[in-house]
């Protein structure tokens, strides 16, 4: 009897303890702290702006470094860069006539090598040359300056195609083109790299990798300076004025 009573008492105590434990564990949930912080639209815009700025900065610095290395390489290998030389190409404004190195004599020339199917770089560089011509034409109209575009894509760039392409730029642009060997020869003379294959398909959809420089030639057809992609319009205008003034004093 005593044993049975003690067993029932123990069972009641255990039941009470379990009830208390269950009741004590039912606490209201605590709010979780945001350890990251609030990502507001303003902070998102700042993050994107900083990222874009860093990408632009490093691309610009890389372009400057590559151009500087190219100029240093040319100077170390050849002293004063020997750029230019004899060439003969089709004048797109008069396909029955040839434009040669002798046609550079008597004028300052800005020469750019590119191709009409170029999606962005060539148009940007030709726009820059156009801006230079407009500036010098307004402030120094006495400087005889002719812009020349030489195609590095002879398979697709016909005289007619080039003429239509240059309409969007300065009206004094002279378009030149030749066959593959003529193109290769003039590019070699001006130390221009280009990747168009000799058997390129005229109907093919391809890009031409090439050097990005605007060459300034003096009225005797001699190389003066090469302006890379990072060179701005004002820099080119100032350099042209300086070289013209220096040559006038000689």
**The predicted structure's pLDDT at residue 47:** 63
Q: pLDDT by residue (tens digit) across 53-82? A: 665 555 555 555 555 555 454 444 444 568
CA-nearest of 134, 78, 133, 68 to 107 is 133
CATH class of residue range 88-249: alpha beta
Q: pLDDT by residue (tens digit) across 131-146? A: 999 999 999 999 999 9
Tally Cβ neighbours within 10 Å of residue 219.
15
The Cα 179–Cα 98 span in angstroms is 13
170 is in an annotated binding site: no
Q: What is the mean pLDDT of the segment spanning 157-174?
A: 97
> CA of 132: how far to CAs of 38, 109, 146, 208, 210, in Å?
49, 12, 11, 25, 22
Helix axes 233-249, 121-139, angle to 10 degrees: 50
The Cα 168–Cα 126 span in angstroms is 9
Higher pLDDT, 10 or 222: 222
Residue 244 has pLDDT above 70, yes or no: yes
* Longest CA–CA separation in the chain, Å: 134
Higher pLDDT, 126 or 27: 126
**The predicted structure's pLDDT at residue 82:** 86
**The predicted structure's pLDDT at residue 68:** 55
Percent of the chain clearing pLDDT 70 (strictly above): 68
CA-nearest of 235, 247, 226, 250 to 75 is 226
Residue 9 has pLDDT above 90, yes or no: no
Q: What is the mean pLDDT of the segment spanning 167-173?
A: 97
**The predicted structure's pLDDT at residue 247:** 86
Bridge-based pairing state of the strands 108-114 and 145-151: parallel
Q: What is the mean pLDDT of the segment spanning 203-213?
A: 94
Query: Which residues, listed in sequence order, are joined to residue 110 by a DSSP beta bridge?
Result: 147, 216
Give the range among 3-17, 126-140, 144-158 with minimum mean pLDDT: 3-17
14 is in an annotated binding site: no
Residue 121 has pLDDT above 50, yes or no: yes
Tokens standing for residue 18 = 């379990």
> CA of 16: how far to CAs of 2, 8, 19, 21, 159, in Å?
21, 13, 5, 9, 102
Higher pLDDT, 198 or 102: 102
122 is in an annotated binding site: yes
Give the range among 12-26, 79-93, 145-159, 212-226 with minimum mean pLDDT: 12-26
Tokens standing for residue 92 = 């797109």
């Amino acid at each position: 009897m005593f044993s049975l009573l003690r067993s029932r008492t123990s069972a009641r105590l255990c039941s009470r303890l379990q009830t208390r434990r269950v009741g004590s564990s039912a606490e209201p949930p605590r709010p979780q702290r945001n350890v990251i912080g609030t990502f507001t639209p303003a902070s998102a815009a700042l993050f994107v702006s900083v990222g874009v700025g860093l990408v632009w900065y490093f691309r610009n610095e890389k372009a400057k470094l590559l151009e500087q290395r190219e100029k240093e390489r040319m100077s170390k290998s050849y002293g004063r860069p020997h750029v230019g030389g004899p060439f003969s190409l089709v004048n797109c404004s008069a396909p029955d006539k040839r434009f040669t190195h002798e046609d550079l004599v008597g004028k300052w020339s800005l020469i750019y090598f590119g191709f009409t199917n170029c999606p962005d770089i060539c148009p940007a560089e030709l726009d820059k040359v156009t801006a230079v011509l407009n500036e010098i034409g307004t402030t120094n109209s006495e400087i005889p300056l002719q812009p020349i575009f030489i195609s590095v894509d002879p398979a697709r760039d016909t005289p007619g195609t080039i003429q239509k392409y240059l309409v969007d730029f300065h009206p004094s642009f002279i378009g030149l083109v030749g066959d593959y060997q003529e193109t290769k020869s003039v590019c070699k003379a001006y130390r221009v790299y280009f990747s168009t294959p000799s058997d390129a398909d005229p109907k093919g959809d391809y890009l031409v990798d090439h050097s990005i420089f605007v060459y300034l030639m003096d009225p005797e057809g001699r190389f003066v300076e090469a302006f890379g992609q990072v060179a701005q319009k004002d820099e080119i205008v100032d350099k042209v004025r300086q070289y013209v003034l220096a040559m006038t004093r000689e």
